[in-house]
Amino acid sequence: MARKSITTAKESEMTKSSIQNNIRKLRFNTGEMTQQELADRVKVSRQTIVAIEKGSYSPSLELAFRFAQIFDTSLEEVFSYNADAVQIKKKK
């Protein structure tokens, strides 16, 4: 029997606040690209794009690089990591 992975609310908060992204802004600056159009170009589902934009899912490194290539920008322009947010959450 497979064990289910349970993510606590605290773990979810850490993930949600530690990695920020500019995908929504980049989509609109690129001819108002829809979530579906972006999903098709990076070969994931629209739901995955929604989850990444909301910050509830962090993409693989490979997918992150695909986003940067699609938007013709650096990885740092697409994603940023906020180490301070993780440390603040851990202290609480």
Closest CA to 44 of 29, 64, 30, 25: 64
Is residue 67 domain-resident? Answer: yes
Give the number of domains in the chain. 1
- CATH code at 82? 1.10.260.40
The DSSP secondary-structure symbol of 81 reads: E
Position 41 scores a pLDDT of: 97
Is residue 1 domain-resident? Answer: no
- Give 66-83 pLDDT, tens digit per residue: 999 999 999 999 999 887
- Give 17-62 pLDDT, tens digit per residue: 588 999 999 999 999 999 999 999 999 999 999 999 999 999 999 9
Is residue 62 domain-resident? Answer: yes
Is residue 34 domain-resident? Answer: yes
User: Measured between alpha carbons, how far is 75 from 66 in angstroms, rounded to an integer?
Assistant: 9
Is residue 72 domain-resident? Answer: yes
Closest CA to 91 of 13, 21, 19: 13
